[in-house]
Structure 1
Amino acid sequence: MANLDNLATLIRTLSKSEKRYFKWSYPWEPGDKVYGDLYDMLEKGQIPIQEIKTKLKKIYPDALLEPASKHLYKMLMRSLRNYEADKSVENKLITLLGDVRILFSKGIFELCFSEIEKAKTLAYRHEKFGYFLLFARLELQYLTNLEFPDTDETALLQKQDKINDLLYHELFINRHASLYELLTYRYYKQGNVRSDKETARLNDLLLDESQVNATNKYSSFESDKLHLHFQSTYFLMTGSPEMSLQISKELNKLFQENSGLWSDSPVYYIYLLHGILTNLYFMKQYADIPYFLNELEQLKPTANSLLLLKQHLVYFHQIGLSSAQGKHKEAVAAAREYEENFLAKKILIPPNTQAAMYFRLAVVYFGVKEYSKSLHLVNEVLNTSGSFISSQLYVLGRLLHLLIHMELHNEDYLHYEIKSVERKLKKNKKLFTLEKITLQFLKKWLNMQDRTKALQYYANALAELEENDYENQLLHQFPFRRWVQGHLQKTPFLEVKI
């Protein structure tokens, strides 16, 4: 059961229309219901939890807060379920499942089986095979209980064969999904491969995926989607963004040809477009970005959380494109607009996605020498719970954190922090080449009288790193080479051409 902190978060994330629907469903007046006053106080979002408890105790001396909070939570969840009831195929199927069980228990059998058939047709048409199987098994259970009215043996066998076919396909999808989930886990936790050993481990997954794919007997949107997305992610991780992008475009075509299967819940497509735009950014194919960015902007999710996620990603890629094209004033303007619309309002975004934006904003402000602002944003990245942030993003955050302190001339702090970062990365086995040469450069910077030599060492080492397929992907996240050349040429690094 949710505690008051969970309730406060839930209420804070409600859209205006969701709040109106809740208050319309459960009207109250101030001082009328303890759960109503609790809701009003939590909605304001500025009253500490302990103060809320004290105020409610004064108004309702005999009331217990825990039962009131549990009741409010149940009411909110019921309201949200009702509000979303007809907005997606899955919600419609869940509603139908409840209706079918009620109809059977009330003895209204003809309508019950009619609703089951309706649900099966809807589930099959939208490739919700798990729901189809649920209704199909329920149908056979009810037919058995009623001693098979109006059902001959041929019809019974056909129903059973259909269940077996879809069970086999669901098993195939589950095996395929398991491999894709494992690959995606490695991507988010480890980033691109950075050693031959990691490549070999991915090749084992690729072989498993090929073997699973060979067993597919039934083509569906879900199975095709999983295969293409696995291939795209594999090539992205192994340093072949061109192949990854090519497959992602095939995947985008698949989505566009089957929009009826996902349009009510477009979260997967939102992340697909995000992946395509990220690939284009890394490959410096900036001319293609506006098309896919427009595709993302045109989506109109019904769920408020998805709408906010979409808007967040639009800002993320607009800022990235402006920075990459040297339009730094536009990038800063978009960054400030994003802060006003999202950060100032504390809008909730998935942690790793939010941390990626913090890092991108930190890079933008670093480029225009707003180092204190950049430092604050990097700290937001590093303060994100380790279980919710990718290893690659964390490492880049630590490196940028060091460079900011170098620019701020915090040399005493740098001595301590370099040792801390090195120790942390060694412990986690994440001390790869970029990290090593950056830490080595900073040590030289602190200890050498001729700091130009330290800068030159770093510039040469970074140039060699460009040829390393395992390492150069990280160089797209922050302009390390331009930054060091800016110091060598005594020029703002945003003006340096490489």
Structure 2
Amino acid sequence: MPNYSKDSLFVLIKSLNRSEKRQFTLYVNRLQNNSDAKFILLFNALDKMEYYDEQLILKQGITTKQQLSNLKANLYRSILSSLRMNPSKKNVRIQIREQLDFATILYQKGLHKQSLKILDKAKLLAFDLEEKTLALEIIELEKVIESQYITRSIAGRADELIEQSDRLSKQYVYATRLSNLSLKFYSEMLTSGYAKSEEDKQRIISHFKDQLLDINFDVLSFREKLWYFKAHVWRCFLIQDYRGAYRYSLSWVNLFYNHPKMIQSHPIWYLKGNSYLFKLILMFKSVERYLYWNNRLENVLNVDTFPQSENIDSQAFLLQFSNKLNIEFIKQTYDGSLLFVKQLQRGLNEYKNMIDEHHFLVLYFKVAALYFGYKKYEDSLKYTNMILFNTRHAVQEDLLFHTRILSLMAQFDSGNDEKYDEYVKANKLLILKMKNHTPIHDSFMKLFEGLSHIYPDQQKKLFTSFVVEAQDLFKNKYYRRSILYIDVLNWARMKID
């Protein structure tokens, strides 16, 4: 994967399509005669670069080293202003904020009734789409206008604004608490990982209950219910209650199907909910359920009214490509076409600045596992090497460990085992540093280390010993996640048979 610069301005310019570049040029030239302005010259120079090179900019004499920082900041703001005026970038939140800005300008000019008229329309839209933060901002400005000027807009205006403000404030408190709880569990997942014991599980459950004691689900609106389901999904993942996680992710997705207009307003959360749902259906290996929910997703994505943006498109690509891989895994027939794998490289090139590299590495791992299932070991090793020899991104330890295990399986089955002992040694060293080290990791390594030191006629005994040990370890539900990556246990059983 190319090592693209992290310079914010360069990445922003490279994300622009031809239409957006043209609009930016029209925007700056419409304001004043900027054809020779330094930041236009800088824009053109950066647009032509394949990689960010500050020395090349200075050699071209566009600006001095001391002025470059201010020039880049000026150009960055101008591009964002141009994009803000682009109708294709105006989602509902930008539209409501724009109306709020217009109303503020009218208020400052003393045109109070005109300001209130715009605010009233914007508030109805904010209520309809449950944009509570924006609705509160609108109501606060309405209060300012009503409290300073005799508008005589409607009778009982004060009581109406007070009631709306109180209701929104209560809902906002619920949403804040639930979003904080969801974020807390997500953070714990990243830093500490899954519960490793019954004590961990009870601590998580107790903390969760304390935060939800006085929250009545029946009074929650769409936004609060969304955070409610998200918090429950993460709680269930942490304690490895996958059936519970499936129920709440299903409720999350159905919440959107029951409120279709919210898909337009919150497409990313719609996609994320589906992502968790598919992950859990894959665990239960239900082909019918997977195909049913995938068809519903595809029907939504193929509608012309589904929102379009680089961010949304990149997340949709990740989900759709992952689903194609998962359907192959869940069927386990390995008799389909792998032509769609070529889409991965196209997606990598198109969304390289919008998707973090970890997600691509996970897809590489899935592709490697799929090729292994097809017994195309050379292709499998090609994709595992794309993870193992990645020097520009820190690979998560769990992904690194299981990638080496998959590579060892491919090397063993193909006979192409030049790096076999090297990978065994590297994984043993990794185990010593792992934060979430479990006995199942040791069991895996004992198997693969043993295979390199015994004769072929002794392998069946070693595989049998591993199966007995692994089956006993997997009685502990907190170790079972290790088999979700690659089924080493079933692979060993096949070697015995």
TM-score by length of 1: 0.84
- Size of the aligned set, in residue pairs, is 478
User: Is residue 238 from structure 1 mapped to residue 244 from structure 2 by the alignment?
Assistant: no
Point out the more displaced range, 356-365 or 480-489.
480-489
The one of 300, 306, 316 equivalent to 2:312 is 306
Aligned-pair identity (%): 17
User: How far is 1:104 from its partner?
Assistant: 1.0
8 A Cα contact 1:53 1:65, kept in partner: no
Cα offsets for 1:218-270 (capped at 9, x unmatched)? 33011222223333343344344334323333332221121213413300000
Bigger mean CA deviation after superposition, 254-263 or 403-412: 403-412
Measure the CA separation in 1 of the matches of 2:461 and 2:58: 64
- What RMSD, in angstroms, separates the aligned Cα atoms of the two structures? 3.3
Aligned match of 1:457: 465
Corresponding letter in the other structure for 1:441: L
How far 1:49 moved relative to its partner? 0.6
Amino acid in structure 2 at the alignment position of 1:445: L
Residue in structure 2 matching 1:10, options 9, 12, 24: 12
Q: Which among 319, 324, 329 is matched to residue 318 of structure 1?
A: 324
From 64, 67, 72, the equivalent of 2:70 is 67
AA matched with 2:43: Y
After the TM superposition, which residues 481-496 of structure 1 pair with which residues of structure 2 at under 5 Å, given as runs? 481-488=489-496
Higher alpha-carbon deviation: 434-443 or 273-282: 434-443
Of the three residues 303, 308, 332, the one matched with 2:338 is: 332
1:362–1:378 Cα contact (<8 Å) kept: no
| 1:128 Cα deviation after fit | 0.9
- Report the CA distance shift for 1:408/1:82 in structure 2 as closer, same or farther (over 3 A): farther
SS in 2 for 1:409: coil
Partner of 2:197: 195
Which one of the candidate residues 473, 477, 481 is aligned to 2:485? Answer: 477
Contact 2:38 2:63 in 1 (8 A): yes
Match of 1:106 in 2: 109
For 1:443-480, what per-residue CA distance to the aligned partner results, in whole angstroms no more than 9, with x for missing partners? 43345564544433333333334443222233122121
2:284 equivalent to 1:283: yes
Of 199-208 and 320-329, more deviation after overlay is shown by 320-329
Could you give the per-residue CA deviations for residues 184-234 of structure 1, whole angstroms, max 9, x where no partner exists? 3334455543321321122123313441424x6733011222223333343
**Among residues 364, 373, 376, which one is paired with 2:382 in the alignment?**
373
Q: Distance in 2 between matches of 1:159 and 1:258?
A: 27
> For the Cα contact (< 8 Å) 1:282–1:476, is it kept in 2?
yes
The corresponding residue for 1:495 is none
Query: Aligned pair in 2 of structure 1 residues 333, 488: CA closer, same or farther (>3 Å)?
Result: farther
Q: How does 1:315-464 map to 2 (within 5 A)?
A: 315-328=321-334, 330=336, 332-343=338-349, 346=352, 348-367=354-373, 368-370=376-378, 371-379=380-388, 384-385=393-394, 392-393=398-399, 395-397=401-403, 399-400=405-406, 408-414=417-423, 416-425=425-434, 428=435, 430-448=436-454, 450-464=458-472
Deviation at 1:149, TM superposition (A): 3.5
Q: Does 1:122 align with 2:121?
A: no
Find the aligned partners of 2:331 and 2:222 in 1 and give their Cα distance. Answer: 37
CA distance in 2, matches of 1:63, 1:197: 58
1:87 to 86, 90, 99: 90
Contact kept in structure 1, 2:11 and 2:353, CA below 8 Å: no
Q: What SS does structure 1 have at the residue aligned with 2:332?
A: coil
In 1, the alpha carbon distance for the partners of 2:165 and 2:404 equals 53
Runs (5+) with no aligned partner, structure 2 = none
Are 1:265 and 1:301, in contact at CA under 8 Å, matched by a contact in 2? no
Match of 1:220 in 2: 221
CA contact (8 A) 1:175 1:212 kept: no
Counterpart secondary structure, 1:213: coil
What is the identity, as a one-letter code, of the residue corresponding to 1:253?
N
Asked whether the 8 Å contact 2:106–2:112 carries over to 1, the reply is yes
- TM-score normalised by L of structure 2: 0.84
Q: 5+ residue gaps in structure 1?
A: 490-498
Deviates more, 1:153-162 or 1:107-116: 153-162
1:139 aligns with 2:139: no
Alpha-carbon spacing, 1:152–1:54, altered in 2? closer, same or farther (3 Å)? closer
Cα 1:211–1:61, aligned 2, differ >3 Å: closer, same or farther? closer
How many angstroms does 1:151 deviate by?
A: 6.9
Pair 347,328 (structure 1): closer, same or farther in 2 beyond 3 Å? farther
Q: Which moved more, 1:283-292 or 1:353-362?
A: 353-362
Q: Is the Cα contact below 8 Å between 1:103 and 1:112 reproduced in 2?
A: yes
Deviates most, 19-28 or 126-135 = 19-28
Name the amino acid aligned to 1:431: H
Query: Once the two structures are superposed, what CA deviation does each residue of 1:384-431 show, in whole Å capped at 9, x if it has no partner?
Result: 447xx6x65455346446656776332552464134212211xx2x11
Determine the structure 2 residue equivalent to 1:492.
Answer: none
Matched to 1:160, the amino acid is: I
Tell me if the contact between 1:38 and 1:52 (Cα under 8 Å) persists in the aligned partners: no
Cα 1:270–1:487 shift into 2, 3 Å: same
CA distance in 2: counterparts of 1:225 and 1:303, whole angstroms: 22
Match of 2:42 among 32, 38, 42: 38
Q: Which moved more, 1:401-410 or 1:114-123?
A: 401-410
1:343 to partner: Cα distance: 4.8
SS at 1:328's partner residue?
Answer: coil
Residue-by-residue CA offset, 1:340-385 (whole Å, 9 max, x unaligned): 3425873531444333223212323444212541332323779644
